[in-house]
A and B are shown apart, each in its own frame.
Chain A
Amino acid sequence: MSEDAATVANKPFFSPFNIVAAAVMFLGIILTVLRFTKGLDAVTNLSDYNPWGIWIGFDLLVGVALAAGGFVTSAVVYIFGMKQYSSAVRPAILTGFLGYALVVLALHYDVGRPWRLPYPFLVQQGPTSILFEVGACVALYLTVLFIEFSPVVMEWLGFRRARELVVKLTILLTIFGVVLSTLHQSSLGALFLIAPSKLHPLWYSQYLPIYFFITAIVAGLSMVIFESSLSHRFFSNKMDRVHLEGKDVLPLGFGKAAAFILAGYFIIKVIGISASDSWHYLSTGYGLWYLVELLGFVALPAFLYAVGVRDRNTKLIQITAFWTVLGVILNRFNVSLVAFNWHLPSSERYFPHWMEIGISVFILTIGLLVYRFIVTRMPVLYEDKSYDSH
């Protein structure tokens, strides 16, 4: 028995994580049957006022933002040539691929009728719609991520020649990834430009596409740091020397970039308030909540990242990365749910049904289980020495 197989065999099957995951999966399957047999009304609190709930606000908007680590890391390594971060590429691309795949899965719950997924491309094109652009970019980028990640699967399966062919496409795929991500990350923000009367003036801005794109880069950097810290904690036995040595290099480099980008983001957020002359809203209840987001989840992490980088304090950087990820989640929730339909009476406001939350947790759990399955079997956190590194 190999060392890896022995490690897997020694793990108890009925671990707390497995038991909770099994319960969530069981509940999720029941909710899925309910959703697709009884319709949206049976499992959601969606209405004509609030047609987009947490399946869009969390599963799609947050999912796409947090999956940005794939294009950010591959751009850093293959376009900017910072090879010291190369050990982070495969985990980041895996997270990106799973993130986008789960976004598409979650979209099926919201849209329904999965067999009509290709309709926007094959039957009824809408090239003047931002939503069409988002759909097209997500479909293309998911394909790019699949091809980018395929060498890992090919190494695992021993498909040497096919792997060599795909590796030659690395730069091209990275450029495709950056272009497609730039397009659809910003377009997700642009979706809300159509609703100036529904979105609170503090969150509504002509710069929404830029805000979404910049926060996606920050989310990508922070997510890679956060995920790397979790991998070092739970999968260190799967890592080779290069990955283990990268434990401190990655947070310091990515933390510095995240600090500077967050500082720039803070500035253009203030510029946005100034351009729309929305200062007077800051003294309202929504204004205070906006300040919590801006000061607590943008300015504070920018400062903490900077202190962590100055002091070479990787622990502080990892905690800040987690805080920043929470900040991006909060921002997407604020734009799509909290500040959306802000003028409506509280009786008409949306709060997710527990079954909506259950399905989101179910989809997240699928992601965690697939990630663990792949990382414990395929060369993601270590390099297969029988292949040339690329």
Chain B
Amino acid sequence: MKTKVMIHTSFYGRHEIVEEILTFQEFMSHTKGVTYLLMICSLIAITGFWFFLTARDDKESLR
């Protein structure tokens, strides 16, 4: 099988091998896996942000 290696130029001009992704299946598994983890973190973070945004509303309504 032909190996596909992703190379990119970094900010300092060096060529670096970032990762090896051989097939589209691997690409989707990798990106979806990372995205699912991010989604879990995001849901927790947005809940925290909502509490931060509305915390004083609740205190005022209790007064």
Question: Is residue A284 contacting chain B, with contact meaning CB distance below 8 A?
Answer: yes
Residue in B6, B11, B38, B53 whose CB lies within 8 Å of A259: B53
Chain A 249-280 near chain B by CB (<8 Å), digits 1 or 0: 00000001001100110010011001111001
Smallest CB separation, A317 vs chain B (Å)? 12
Say yes or no for A15: interface residue by CB 8 A criterion.
Answer: no
Q: Are B39 and A284 in contact (CB under 8 A)?
A: no
Residues of A within 8 A of B8 (CB): 280-281, 284
Tell me which residues across on chain B come within 8 A of A281, comparing CB atoms.
8
Interface string of A126-138 (1 = CB under 8 A from B): 0000000000000
Q: Whole-angstrom distance from the CB of A256 to the nearest CB of chain B?
A: 6
The tally of CB-CB contacts under 8 A between chains A and B is 53
Report the minimal beta-carbon distance from B6 to chain A, rounded to whole angstroms: 8
Q: Which residues of A contact B54 (CB under 8 A)?
A: 256
By a CB distance below 8 angstroms, the chain B residues around A276 are 31
Mostly, the A contact residues are helix
Please determine whether A274 and B46 come into contact, CB atoms closer than 8 angstroms.
no
Which of B27, B35, B56 has the largest number of chain A CB atoms within 10 A? B35
A256 and B38 contacting across the interface, CB-CB below 8 Å: no
Whether, in the assembled complex, B25 has its beta carbon less than 8 Å from a beta carbon of chain A, the answer is: no
B11 touches A284 (CB 8 A): yes
CB distance from A244 to the nearest CB of B (A): 23
Size category of the binding interface on chain B: 20 to 34
Question: Quick one: closest B residue to A270, CB to CB?
Answer: B38
**A260: B residues at CB distance < 8 A:** 49-50, 53
Contact B31 A274 (CB under 8 A): yes
Report B29-54 CB contacts with A as 1/0, cut-off 8 Å.
Answer: 01110110011001001100110111
How many of chain A's residues have a CB under 8 angstroms from any CB in B?
23
Are A270 and B49 in touch, CB under 8 angstroms?
no
Q: Any chain B CB within 8 A of the CB of A310?
A: yes
Question: Do the beta carbons of B49 and A263 come within 8 Å of each other?
Answer: yes
B55 surroundings in chain A (CB, below 8 A): 310
- Residues of chain B within 8 A (CB-CB) of A284 are 8-11
Residues of A within 8 A of B46 (CB): 263-264, 267
Contact: B35 with A267, CB < 8 Å?
no
Instruction: Contact check, B42 vs A271: say whether CB atoms are below 8 A apart.
Output: yes
B18 in contact with A280 (CB, 8 Å):
yes
Let me know if A270 and B42 touch, CB within 8 A. yes
**Residues of A with C-beta under 8 A to B35:** 271, 274-275
Q: Which residues in chain B, 13-36, are within 8 Å of chain A measured between CB atoms?
A: 18, 27, 30-32, 34-35
CB < 8 Å: which of B9, B10, B34, B56 contacts A274?
B34
- 0 or 1 for each of A310-323: is its CB under 8 Å from B? (1 = yes): 10000000000000
Report how far A280 CA is from B50 CA in the complex, Å. Answer: 31
State how many angstroms separate the Cβ of B35 from the closest Cβ of chain A: 5
Verify A306–B11 contact, CB threshold 8 A. Answer: no
Known: A267-B42, A277-B27, A287-B11. 13 other contacts (CB 8 A): A259-B49, A259-B53, A270-B42, A271-B39, A277-B31, A280-B18, A281-B8, A283-B11, A288-B11, A306-B53, A309-B53, A310-B52, A310-B53
Residues of chain A having any CB pair with chain B under 8 Å: 256, 259-260, 263-264, 267, 270-271, 274-277, 280-281, 283-285, 287-288, 302, 306, 309-310
